[in-house]
Structure 1
Amino acid sequence: MDRYFCKVKAISVGNKLYLTVLSLFLAFAVAFIVFQQAREKQYKIGLLESRLESFNAQIHEEVQGKRQPVDNTLTALVKSFNNKELRVTLVRKDGRVLYDNFRRDYAQMPNHASRPEIKEALRQGHGTSLARHSSTLDREYFYSATYFKRDGIVVRTALPYDNNLAKTLQADQHFIWFALVIIVLLTLVLYRFVNRLGTNITKLRIFASRADHNESLETEDLAAFPDDELGEIAERIIKIYKRLQTTRREQDILKRQLTQNVAHELKTPVASIQGYLETILENPHIDAPTKEMFLQRCYAQSERLTSLLRDISTLNRLDDAPNMQNFEDVNISEMVQNIQKETALQLEQRHMTFHNYLPGELIVKGSQSLLYSVFRNLTDNAIAYAGEGTSITITAERHTDYWTFVFSDNGVGVPPEHLSRLFERFYRVDKGRSRKMGGTGLGLAIVKNAILLHKGTVNVRNNPDGGLRFTFTIAI
């Protein structure tokens, strides 16, 4: 478990996804906060500009139409603004200063035509400078200048760009704290989601590694998954794999059993043929009647081998290439009549009767050879095991999409504990008697597989009055 976990932890997809998504989210959050800060600061600067522009307009009203501004009047107006730090400067369009409330000797002040806010105001009607250093007063100011073209003057107001103003222009810090709280919450939610995802991926990786090394999957680390859609899918994958493993093991067991059964079934007739032939070869002067008897027995055993190989070939075709069968219209009534004729001598020898109650024309779509095997094997099985003096009955009932057949006899039947296994390959109720009768043990297995290939179902039970009753369906 440790080596799996360490390997998974080093290259965890969940961790990569978490870090990638978190990085993108944090980058977006930082960019949004910076954008919001700049936007809010610009908004506050705009408000301050509007306020200073309003001051500029009021001052212009006082000096409008006057050749020289009245100092006392402007000084009183500036005081009415209730801001001792407010600086007011009037500048002619040629840059000469007409008035400055912080300098009495404004006539001696240098030309202001080169000041950025003055130049912008002359060009666009209004100009600003943020945190520009004043060479006149040796401190930084926030300037707002408005050019009144009619009077040819620029009214400039300014506030010191000190800590108080800087704080006023800063964005609201509560928004930053709110954004940080949201980031933390979303990070925790993302971690919880990615952690569940990572747990599922880790378990699936452990499962894949264990499955690849044919190791046990019945471990605690694969016992339960998180209760979400991916966890449910992962559990289903493991359950399907376990089911496939179980099926594969069962198939391996069946293959071994089949191989053993085939070897056992082949061994007896081959040994018999070999024994009879050795006797004939080692005794060249054996009399003719005895030699003929031995050869007849060899022929009978060879027929048994042929029948066994034919049945095995039929089952292999059903298992390996069920879709390769040639389907055509098959007349079941005619087929059963032919089987009845073919087995007439055997029925007569065992004093048995065959009651065929099928309709005159019973047509289905299917494989001629496989359907023949179904009815022939059921007939041979009844002749072999029902007992002398018994009867065989076959009936059919039509439904919308299929026919239901009932094939029964009134013989000795089968003990109930054997009924569920009658369709197994090489299964025999009475092994000694079955081999004596020449059966291969594959007839009913062929019957079941052929019916399933024709989209039908089959079951068997004992009749109340004795004998076996096979009920099966065949699609039309």
Structure 2
Amino acid sequence: MKRISVGTKLHLTVMFVFLLFAVAFTLFQHVREKQYKIDNLEIRLQSFNESMDDALHYIGKIDEKTLDGYVRRYNNSDLRVTLITAKGKVIFDNIRKDYANFGNHANRKEVKSALRYGYGSEIDRNSSTLKKEYFYYATYFKKDGFIIRSAMPYDNYLSESLKTDQHYIWFSLTAIIILTLVLYKFTGPLGRNITKLRSFASKADHNESLDTEDLMEFPGDELGEIAEKIIKLYKRLQSTRKEQDILKRQLTQNIAHELKTPVASIQGYLETILNNPNINDETRLQFMQRCYAQSQRLTALLQDISMLNRMDDAPHLIDFTSVNISQTVKDIIKDTELQLSSKKMTFKNLLPDNIVVNGSQSLIYSIFRNLTDNAIAYAGLGTEITLSATDNINEWQFVFKDNGIGVRHEHLARLFERFYLVDKGRSRKMGGTGLGLAIVKNAVLLHKGMIKVENRKEGGLMFTFFLKK
């Protein structure tokens, strides 16, 4: 069974609701207009009944000849006028004169209503005496003790006069046709957009190709624009996912490669010791020391990977507290004093006292420690590290620079990539993992800051980064 589109459903629903409204409005208008015309007719007959009562007062008695003439003069020969007592007895009728043969009129609808409310009417009732249909209107004159009932034949003339105006029906039909055209113009593109989105969803669900042009062509309305953006966004995400898969494979390969080197070294030294039980103590100690150094490198690598994963996967679980950066940097200078001394390097700390930010103590430490270790490893012998800060109201701007050899311009854009090493042989020899600057960048971003690196004209690298207070 073919599924009805959303556009068609919307079109049919709105049309059904409007049709119900049109029918209800037509019925209401029909009843209202007919009642309005009946009210006007009743007013005319009520006016005649009152005039008839005034004539009776003037004559002083029921004189049939005079009353017949009065009725003819007032209206026409079709008007029927009947005088009825409060008990229902007919005492005058301008058309039929055999009063003895009249039945009691007390139970007639218009008479009963007149006795109760002072007036009453009935439409389209067949006269039992004249065998014709009349419109009756009765008025009870309580002081005089009788009812004057006037009636008009319910013929074609009266039927036409009471018929409601049909123009509003044609107006409703015209409105329905116009609404149908307008709705079709609106729901047509809507249905096509939804059909295209359904096709897109089906292709996406079955991992089919989304490069077909028909998926990218939508009518130029708001929904079409939204649908087109959704598909473009999906394709962009799909492309990004492919890039991420490539990066993950590269990352896995890099991790495997970086782990392979220390593990192979440890395994080689241990095999040598196990296969040579008579090896002298000095050589065995030397091999064990090398194993320990490789295990330390392996531990550092795993710690760096763990820290990056934690920043990527669960940044909300990292606790933020007040961190005194000034004291943290002093501790780092103290911890790296021997390395700085061995390279004949100096650390010029220009930070003001008590720089406090809201952040993670361990990550703040990692930022400044990795920048320091990077400078110690690559700036060169006898160089100087300078660290300064500027208070920018809502954030601190830090400048970490050295006067070393710097790096070639083509390497600058990739310094913050994971496992990127400018000089791979030298980095591995010095125990570098290629993750230090990646940790720095991710830690700065986690603290809602930003970082950039550039070569100094005087030589060396300069890192500029911001941390929110």
TM range, smaller chain = 0.7 to 0.9
- Moved beyond 6 Å, runs of 4+: none
Q: Supply the AA of the counterpart residue of 2:133.
A: E
Out of 356, 360, 377, the position equivalent to 1:384 is: 377
Q: Report whether the alignment pairs 1:158 with 2:151.
A: yes
The aligned counterpart of 2:432 is 439
Question: Is the contact between residue 451 and residue 473 of structure 1 (CA under 8 Å) also seen in structure 2?
Answer: yes
Q: Supply the AA of the counterpart residue of 2:17.
A: L
Deviations 1:169-213 (A, max 9, x none): 011111221222223333444444445554554444444444433
Take 1:28 and 1:365, find their aligned partners in 2: how far apart are those partners? Answer: 63
The aligned counterpart of 2:63 is 69
Take 1:221 and 1:91, find their aligned partners in 2: how far apart are those partners? Answer: 85
Out of 259, 263, 271, the position equivalent to 1:270 is: 263
Question: Is the contact between residue 99 and residue 106 of structure 1 (CA under 8 Å) also seen in structure 2?
Answer: no
Deviations 1:269-324 (A, max 9, x none): 22222223333333444455544444443333222212212211222222233233
Question: Is the contact between residue 311 and residue 442 of structure 2 (CA under 8 Å) also seen in structure 1?
Answer: yes
Secondary structure of 2:17's partner?
Answer: helix
Within 5 A, what are the aligned runs for 1:9-408? 10-64=3-57, 65-71=59-65, 73-103=66-96, 105-107=97-99, 109-114=101-106, 115-195=108-188, 197-225=190-218, 230-231=223-224, 233-408=226-401
Question: Is the contact between residue 321 and residue 358 of structure 2 (CA under 8 Å) also seen in structure 1?
Answer: yes
Take 1:438 and 1:249, find their aligned partners in 2: how far apart are those partners? Answer: 32
Question: Is the contact between residue 69 and residue 99 of structure 1 (CA under 8 Å) also seen in structure 2?
Answer: no
Alpha-carbon spacing, 1:68–1:257, altered in 2? closer, same or farther (3 Å): same
Question: Is the contact between residue 64 and residue 92 of structure 2 (CA under 8 Å) also seen in structure 1?
Answer: no
Out of 455, 458, 463, the position equivalent to 1:470 is: 463
Deviations 1:56-103 (A, max 9, x none): 2333333335444141x3343333235332223344455554443334
Take 2:100 and 2:330, find their aligned partners in 1: how far apart are those partners? Answer: 137
Alpha-carbon spacing, 1:310–1:92, altered in 2? closer, same or farther (3 Å): closer
Question: Is the contact between residue 97 and residue 109 of structure 1 (CA under 8 Å) also seen in structure 2?
Answer: no
Secondary structure of 1:396's partner?
Answer: strand
Alpha-carbon spacing, 1:62–1:284, altered in 2? closer, same or farther (3 Å): closer
Alpha-carbon spacing, 1:97–1:290, altered in 2? closer, same or farther (3 Å): closer
Between 190-199 and 177-186, the greater mean CA deviation after superposition = 190-199
Take 1:76 and 1:471, find their aligned partners in 2: how far apart are those partners? Answer: 117
Between 261-270 and 316-325, the greater mean CA deviation after superposition = 316-325
Measured after TM superposition, the shift of residue 459 of structure 1 is 0.7
Alpha-carbon spacing, 1:81–1:272, altered in 2? closer, same or farther (3 Å): same
Between 461-470 and 130-139, the greater mean CA deviation after superposition = 130-139
Q: Supply the AA of the counterpart residue of 1:80.
A: R
Deviations 1:437-462 (A, max 9, x none): 22111111111112222332111000
| TM-score normalised according to structure 2 size | 0.88
Secondary structure of 1:147's partner?
Answer: strand
Take 1:324 and 1:155, find their aligned partners in 2: how far apart are those partners? Answer: 96
Aligned length: 467
Measured after TM superposition, the shift of residue 157 of structure 1 is 2.3
Alpha-carbon spacing, 1:63–1:292, altered in 2? closer, same or farther (3 Å): closer
Secondary structure of 2:374's partner?
Answer: helix
Take 1:335 and 1:159, find their aligned partners in 2: how far apart are those partners? Answer: 110
Take 1:339 and 1:113, find their aligned partners in 2: how far apart are those partners? Answer: 119
Measured after TM superposition, the shift of residue 423 of structure 1 is 0.5
Note the aligned Cα RMSD (angstroms). 2.9
Take 1:341 and 1:94, find their aligned partners in 2: how far apart are those partners? Answer: 125
Question: Is the contact between residue 90 and residue 154 of structure 1 (CA under 8 Å) also seen in structure 2?
Answer: yes
Between 329-338 and 399-408, the greater mean CA deviation after superposition = 329-338
Between 367-376 and 61-70, the greater mean CA deviation after superposition = 61-70
Secondary structure of 1:10's partner?
Answer: coil
Alpha-carbon spacing, 1:253–1:80, altered in 2? closer, same or farther (3 Å): same
Question: Is the contact between residue 386 and residue 413 of structure 1 (CA under 8 Å) also seen in structure 2?
Answer: yes
Secondary structure of 1:175's partner?
Answer: helix
Q: Supply the AA of the counterpart residue of 2:48.
A: F
Take 1:209 and 1:328, find their aligned partners in 2: how far apart are those partners? Answer: 48
Alpha-carbon spacing, 1:94–1:372, altered in 2? closer, same or farther (3 Å): closer
The aligned counterpart of 1:427 is 420
Alpha-carbon spacing, 1:21–1:384, altered in 2? closer, same or farther (3 Å): same
Secondary structure of 1:413's partner?
Answer: coil
Secondary structure of 1:154's partner?
Answer: strand
Secondary structure of 1:168's partner?
Answer: helix
The aligned counterpart of 1:3 is none
Question: Is the contact between residue 90 and residue 105 of structure 2 (CA under 8 Å) also seen in structure 1?
Answer: no
Alpha-carbon spacing, 1:354–1:119, altered in 2? closer, same or farther (3 Å): closer
Unaligned stretches of 5+ in structure 2?
Answer: none
Measured after TM superposition, the shift of residue 471 of structure 1 is 0.9
Alpha-carbon spacing, 1:336–1:60, altered in 2? closer, same or farther (3 Å): closer
Alpha-carbon spacing, 1:161–1:410, altered in 2? closer, same or farther (3 Å): same
